[in-house]
Structure 1
Amino acid sequence: MILEKDLLARLKSNFGYDSFRLEQQKIIENILSKNDTLVIMPTGGGKSICFQLPALFFEGITLVISPLIALMKDQVDSLKANGIPATYFNSSQSDEEQKAVFDAVVNKEVKLLYVAPESLSFLQNILHQNYINCIAIDEAHCISSWGHDFRPSYKQLAFLKKSLPEVPVVALTATADKATQEDILEQLAIPNATRFISSFNRENIALEVRPANDRVQQIVKFIERRPNESGIIYCLSRKATEQLAGKLRQNGIDALAYHAGLSFDERAKTQEDFIKDDVQIICATIAFGMGIDKSNVRWVIHYNMPKNIEGYYQEIGRAGRDGLASHALLFHSYADVIQLRQFIANTGNQEVQEAKLDRMKQFAEATVCRRRILLSYFGELVDTNCGNCDVCKNPPQFFDGTVIAQKALSAIYRLKGKEAMGTVIDVLRGANNASIHEKNYQQLKTFGVGSDISWRDWQHYLIQLINQGFCQIAFHLNNALQLTSFSEKVLFQGEKVQLTTPVEVTKETPAKVKATKKKSATKDSLFERLRKLRYRIAQEEDIAAYLIFSDATLRELETQRPQTDDEFLAISGVGQRKLEVYGGEFMEEIKSFIKEKKKGKKDTTLETYKLYQEDFTIEEIAIKRGLKEQTIFSHLAKLYLEGKDINLDKFIDVNTLKLIQNAKKVLQNETALKPYFEFLEEKVSYEQIRIGLTILQKKSI
């Protein structure tokens, strides 16, 4: 029996959090009870913890199916940074590396194994419940042809449940409408899985739609107001990503293009540069971003309109994963709609894709709260506006449209929820066409009750009713309009409905943007100091900066300014391992910042130097200064390179120095410490490597 206190203890020590979010705890308890599970949770909601934390309690491994090989290293690095043993298996590894993976699984040295569906056939020897205790299928919507990102390689995954019937299967995704959810369970052979559907609401993301006039200049101004912030710009074509990235660079903005036309190595390098904050902005096709856990993406721009709401929702969800304020900007043009219609012509499920494109177009043209539209699309009905979208901030003028709504909803009711919007409008207008008479719809009480309203205006009103959740489109039932639980309020409980008058738009005009002074990041803010420290450590360890601490954690460090281990551990995002590895340097930076603000700038390494000259040991200096020993070593390395009288040789033996020197010859110009650590088979500590490289650097000067 695993108790709640055990789960919370692991949550804090390995992930740094004091409490669970959304339905995480119920999901984890369900998985630990070995029940099949479907998790629909928004990007940034904490899906990964739902299977990573239970993995720590299972005796064997949790097998994680992930769609993209390029992301596995990032995910495994993230786990290792949290003190969780994990690895991955893919076709890019050598025979020796793959054998090491098998050995680690057999010897129970790892808790999670990541693999792409294409590589599962190579794992037959370990696909046994003696080794596998849980199977997690990430981005599960990829299995469904109803979904927006169908991948044929996911179709084979049903064999996992059939061959390992006692092993719980967990399917996870951020985006799946009702039809896709049903398909996921059927395709994975887990029809009785417990479903956990969390709120799709990402309140921290501001939603905005603008006409696509002078897009490049609008984007340049948008970025200039947000210096040092990471962002993604999605484009429809490879050519557009290259052209836009080039234009941004011409404006002094550091940006790279990412698309399927680049080589594997080019794509991997671009993705790695973005993850590690070496480049701030990526102009990409939709191939970019799936599975990336980069928590400090502050904004997402859609240069072109996405083809459906699922894709749009998932892509904007890559912003603000740390919960801090973020922005989603969509440019809308009729030319994009035409191009997207051409893309989906003569493809599988063409009618469904066209209907979903229409829904996306309706979202872009909406005159009601955009967040309510997003939420109602996924079946989550809310009756209050969000206050954090462009429509809420600059609302249009409304009139009492209750009677119009009652007529429309009555027609849908009389049609038994079986007809699409066109037929509903024909019934309301009393159209005498063959289709109406063939089905005897002219006999309905609602036939012709809206003949005084034009076809286009009825379309406008019905779209608003859908957007407000009073009716919905059933895409899997030939796009039929159906009533919702909100419909009864209008039909039987006297609820009022506000609608906007249709306006004939003859020419797109640029959205009004308030003139704001270009802000530059405060160079000497504590947040900026901590961000630079995080970046330096990340480069040394050759991992993504956000894997050390998220922006949200840095903001809390800036506010709380912890100066003891207990205070530091109380910060959200700080676990025991991160306290031990990084706490000393970050607390010293905080202390230095506080002292400098009180007394003016002062080089704190000189205090270390003074104690060193007085023949105190490293351990004694660390105790006296209230710092970690590794921090003292970094001070001495800096002082040594500055020419101070420091004898680093006494901290490293000759043989170890020779090992590092040999590694340097092989690794050549490598400056990060992690490659040396791995090359030396993890037998030489980071502190020793830093000292050795510092000595070698000084000798080569």
Structure 2
Amino acid sequence: MPPETLPTLQRVFGFPGFRGVQADVVGRVLDRRRTLAVMPTGAGKSLCYQLPAVMMDGCCVVVSPLIALMHDQLRAAEAVGIRAATLTSVDQNRGETIARFRDGALDLLYVAPERASSGHFRDLLESARLSLFAIDEAHCVSEWGHDFRPDYRLLAPLMDHFPDVPRLALTATADAHTRADILQQLGIDREGLIVSGFDRPNIRYAISPRSNLNQQLADVIRANPGPGIVYAQTRAATEKLAEALARTGRPTRAYHAGLDPAIRAKNQADFVASEDMVICATVAFGMGIDKPDVRFVAHAGLPKSIEGYYQETGRAGRDGDPSVAHMFWGAEDFARARQRIGEVEPERQPGERQRLSALGALVETGGCRRHVLLRHFGENPVEDCGNCDNCLGSPDARDATETARKFLSAVFRTGQMFGATYVEQVLCGQSTERSLMNGHENLSVWAIVDGDEVGLIKPVLRALMLRDALRTNAHGGLEFGPAARALLKGEASLSVVVPPKRERRGRRAGAATAANPADNPLFEALRTRRRELAQAAGVPPYVIFHDSVLRDMAAQRPASRAELALLSGIGARKLDAYGDAFLEVIRGA
């Protein structure tokens, strides 16, 4: 690695050293070697091409999948003094950007894959010196990935046209199969693969059965004062949840593809700039957001895959501060997922079923959530992470095989045509007009569940649906799935996890340990000044400084620019632009 690398890192970005595998990745890029870097969200992937872009001759072309993400990254790059631009369909200064590119006045040029794969763009690239191709969200190149984008497949021919330009692919979400496909599709040798691990230790994982969803989400919001994302499965659900959760007193917005583009853009911009807003969104929201201070991500239903879950939860805590990821699921989520699998191409169905099975294992486990998640990505984590609901709460795992057989028997003897509520009434012996009329009170399954076993019925139903032992028909009635026979014949067992009863708790209940010293007046004064500077500059507050930088200021109280420059995250450009304003606040405290 060139001797000027660390001084440049300190001068431009304000960091005294590299984190994790950054040094390995940057070293390979500066050696002009092709590389695939698999790094968790928040590990500093963008620095792996931004730093070489500053140090190498020519312009680094960054291929990124979403315009909003490009504009976020553009703001961050310009804030530290990097000469950067975007070339997108919404930019009004395309002529100026092309002229800057040809004149060698850009370090970074962000483009979408659709533009990058065009012949006109290749002609443009021939008119200037290139330093590097950086392919962000590289899992989009793989059909095995959960966000496949066909235009990513056209990037290899483009890069092959410039064989002497090194290439760097970056992703946070790729299992072993997807990694191998990325290497092949982008022409990178296996020795160029660098995997830093998938663990996000600052995120606390929790998964709960859905009961009163609005109340469950409100509890998460009240427990976590910072910005948050609630993922819903439909457009209508995002709007209903935003309306309901506004009653918590927090500003809320909805985001989905069906909104008027101007409203959608404003909602996203308001969220990015906010320090406490909750946005209720479909999964389309998030990949284009480079917001580091999201304190929680909640799922109002089952994600599409464990890879999607990992990526979506990874939008929390990118700044490294404690954050929460809480999923609320229902048995019907798995039923709908199986129905969707039946509608895709036959060759894709085995892979989709495997993904759903992995989600089921994560939901159903009574052990460490993080262990299940990281094992899916090929790691060998410890059995107890100490930062998920199961490791912290000691759930009660019970053998519920006998209760499961009773439930299945009741479904069978009532004709596989009634819903869960009615089957439960039969099992518990709750007489109704319908049970009398149908003669079901004379069945052998009538009133065979009582006492403590009653509390197992709903967990058992969820487990049976999850395992495909039960399905719902077109009219909402329960019917046998393929896994029912083994349970009824005693060839399989079933256990369920009963979460510990939770008492009514205070405002911070269910939250990760508070990262911000909210009771420190100086820290709050620094946040206020940051907010004022951000509004004046038209950028989100985190572009000025992250909360971690403000915490260091509040703790160490630097008295001069020289002392301020010693804090991590304050490069030369930001020191010149904002140093005096924050020193003024510190002196006045």
Q: 2:564, 2:579 within 8 Å by CA — same for their partners in 1?
A: yes
The 3-state SS of whatever aligns with 1:56 is helix
The 3-state SS of whatever aligns with 2:143 is coil
Residue matched to 2:131 = 133
Residue matched to 2:160 = 162
One-letter identity of the residue aligned with 2:32: K
Task: Indicate which of 339, 362, 365 corresponds to 1:342.
Answer: 339
Listed one character per residue, the Cα deviations across residues 187-232 of structure 1 (whole Å, up to 9, x for unaligned) are 22334560110021111111111111111112112212333x1111
Listed one character per residue, the Cα deviations across residues 250-302 of structure 1 (whole Å, up to 9, x for unaligned) are 34221101111123322222211111117611101110111422111111111
Instruction: Provide closer, same or farther for how the CA distance between residues 370 and 60 of structure 1 changes in structure 2, counting only shifts above 3 A.
Output: same
Matched, 1:503 2:495: yes
User: What are the within-5 Å matches in structure 2 for residues 398-547 of structure 1?
Assistant: 502-504=494-496, 512=502, 515-517=505-507, 522=518, 525-547=521-543
Shift of 1:537: 0.6
Instruction: Provide closer, same or farther for how the CA distance between residues 342 and 513 of structure 1 changes in structure 2, counting only shifts above 3 A.
Output: farther
Task: Indicate which of 232, 245, 248 corresponds to 1:248.
Answer: 245
One-letter identity of the residue aligned with 1:234: Y
Q: 2:101, 2:128 within 8 Å by CA — same for their partners in 1?
A: no
Structure 2 Cα separation of the partners of residues 302 and 240 of structure 1: 12
One-letter identity of the residue aligned with 2:2: I
Residue matched to 1:578 = 574
Q: 1:38, 1:170 within 8 Å by CA — same for their partners in 2?
A: yes
Q: 1:211, 1:511 within 8 Å by CA — same for their partners in 2?
A: no
Structure 2 Cα separation of the partners of residues 513 and 347 of structure 1: 44
Residue matched to 2:413 = none
Q: 1:129, 1:164 within 8 Å by CA — same for their partners in 2?
A: no
Structure 1 Cα separation of the partners of residues 41 and 91 of structure 2: 29
Q: 2:229, 2:296 within 8 Å by CA — same for their partners in 1?
A: yes
Instruction: Provide closer, same or farther for how the CA distance between residues 526 and 180 of structure 1 changes in structure 2, counting only shifts above 3 A.
Output: same
Structure 1 Cα separation of the partners of residues 308 and 73 of structure 2: 22
User: What are the within-5 Å matches in structure 2 for residues 8-157 of structure 1?
Assistant: 8-94=6-92, 97-120=93-116, 121=118, 122-128=120-126, 130-157=128-155
One-letter identity of the residue aligned with 1:154: Y
Shift of 1:518: 6.5
One-letter identity of the residue aligned with 1:315: E
Residue matched to 1:373 = 372
Listed one character per residue, the Cα deviations across residues 642-690 of structure 1 (whole Å, up to 9, x for unaligned) are xxxxxxxxxxxxxxxxxxxxxxxxxxxxxxxxxxxxxxxxxxxxxxxxx
Structure 2 Cα separation of the partners of residues 509 and 187 of structure 1: 45
Q: 1:67, 1:117 within 8 Å by CA — same for their partners in 2?
A: yes
Instruction: Provide closer, same or farther for how the CA distance between residues 163 and 129 of structure 1 changes in structure 2, counting only shifts above 3 A.
Output: farther
Instruction: Provide closer, same or farther for how the CA distance between residues 272 and 513 of structure 1 changes in structure 2, counting only shifts above 3 A.
Output: farther
One-letter identity of the residue aligned with 1:542: G
Shift of 1:342: 2.6
Q: Per chain length, whose mean CA-contact separation is higher, i.e. which structure has more relative contact order (CA < 8 Å, sep 6+)?
A: 2
Residue matched to 1:440 = none
The 3-state SS of whatever aligns with 1:297 is coil
The 3-state SS of whatever aligns with 1:114 is strand
Structure 2 Cα separation of the partners of residues 259 and 220 of structure 1: 21
Structure 2 Cα separation of the partners of residues 148 and 576 of structure 1: 40
TM superposition score normalised by structure 1: 0.67
Structure 2 Cα separation of the partners of residues 174 and 23 of structure 1: 13
The 3-state SS of whatever aligns with 1:47 is coil
One-letter identity of the residue aligned with 2:389: D
Structure 2 Cα separation of the partners of residues 275 and 517 of structure 1: 24
Residue matched to 1:2 = 2
Q: 2:37, 2:195 within 8 Å by CA — same for their partners in 1?
A: yes
Q: 2:397, 2:496 within 8 Å by CA — same for their partners in 1?
A: no
Shift of 1:160: 2.1
Residue matched to 1:351 = 350
The 3-state SS of whatever aligns with 1:118 is helix
Q: 1:205, 1:326 within 8 Å by CA — same for their partners in 2?
A: yes
Shift of 1:352: 0.7
Shift of 1:54: 0.5
Q: 1:295, 1:551 within 8 Å by CA — same for their partners in 2?
A: no
User: What are the within-5 Å matches in structure 2 for residues 386-401 of structure 1?
Assistant: 386-396=385-395
Q: 2:68, 2:288 within 8 Å by CA — same for their partners in 1?
A: no
One-letter identity of the residue aligned with 1:2: P
One-letter identity of the residue aligned with 1:106: R
Q: 2:122, 2:158 within 8 Å by CA — same for their partners in 1?
A: no
Task: Indicate which of 194, 213, 216 corresponds to 1:215.
Answer: 213
Comparing 7-16 with 38-47, which one deviates more in the overlay?
7-16
> What value does the CA root-mean-square deviation take over the aligned residues?
2.4
Q: 2:67, 2:288 within 8 Å by CA — same for their partners in 1?
A: no
Residue matched to 1:564 = 560
One-letter identity of the residue aligned with 2:525: R
Q: Which runs of 5+ in 1 are unaligned?
A: 400-456, 464-500, 594-701
Instruction: Provide closer, same or farther for how the CA distance between residues 279 and 153 of structure 1 changes in structure 2, counting only shifts above 3 A.
Output: farther
Q: 1:31, 1:168 within 8 Å by CA — same for their partners in 2?
A: yes
Q: 2:317, 2:323 within 8 Å by CA — same for their partners in 1?
A: yes
The 3-state SS of whatever aligns with 1:199 is coil
The 3-state SS of whatever aligns with 2:37 is strand
Give the total of aligned pairs.
Answer: 488
Shift of 1:555: 1.7
Equivalent pairs: percent with the same residue?
42
Residue matched to 1:288 = 285
Structure 1 Cα separation of the partners of residues 370 and 109 of structure 2: 37
Structure 2 Cα separation of the partners of residues 528 and 298 of structure 1: 17
Task: Indicate which of 259, 266, 271 corresponds to 2:268.
Answer: 271
The 3-state SS of whatever aligns with 2:193 is strand
Structure 2 Cα separation of the partners of residues 571 and 256 of structure 1: 35
Structure 2 Cα separation of the partners of residues 50 and 178 of structure 1: 22
The 3-state SS of whatever aligns with 1:207 is strand
Comparing 284-293 with 344-353, which one deviates more in the overlay?
344-353
Q: 1:137, 1:172 within 8 Å by CA — same for their partners in 2?
A: yes
Q: Which runs of 5+ in 2 are unaligned?
A: 399-459, 467-492
The 3-state SS of whatever aligns with 1:314 is helix
TM superposition score normalised by structure 2: 0.79
Q: 1:143, 1:155 within 8 Å by CA — same for their partners in 2?
A: yes
Task: Indicate which of 328, 331, 340 corresponds to 1:331.
Answer: 328
Structure 2 Cα separation of the partners of residues 394 and 195 of structure 1: 38
Larger radius of gyration: 1
Listed one character per residue, the Cα deviations across residues 389-436 of structure 1 (whole Å, up to 9, x for unaligned) are 11111224689xxxxxxxxxxxxxxxxxxxxxxxxxxxxxxxxxxxxx
Residue matched to 1:612 = none
User: What are the within-5 Å matches in structure 2 for residues 669-688 of structure 1?
Assistant: none
Residue matched to 1:185 = 183
Q: 1:144, 1:184 within 8 Å by CA — same for their partners in 2?
A: yes
Matched, 1:362 2:361: yes
Listed one character per residue, the Cα deviations across residues 369-395 of structure 1 (whole Å, up to 9, x for unaligned) are 111111111111123421011111122
Q: 2:79, 2:543 within 8 Å by CA — same for their partners in 1?
A: yes
Residue matched to 1:427 = none
Residue matched to 1:589 = 585
Q: 2:302, 2:328 within 8 Å by CA — same for their partners in 1?
A: yes
Q: 2:297, 2:316 within 8 Å by CA — same for their partners in 1?
A: yes
Instruction: Provide closer, same or farther for how the CA distance between residues 117 and 217 of structure 1 changes in structure 2, counting only shifts above 3 A.
Output: same
The 3-state SS of whatever aligns with 2:46 is helix
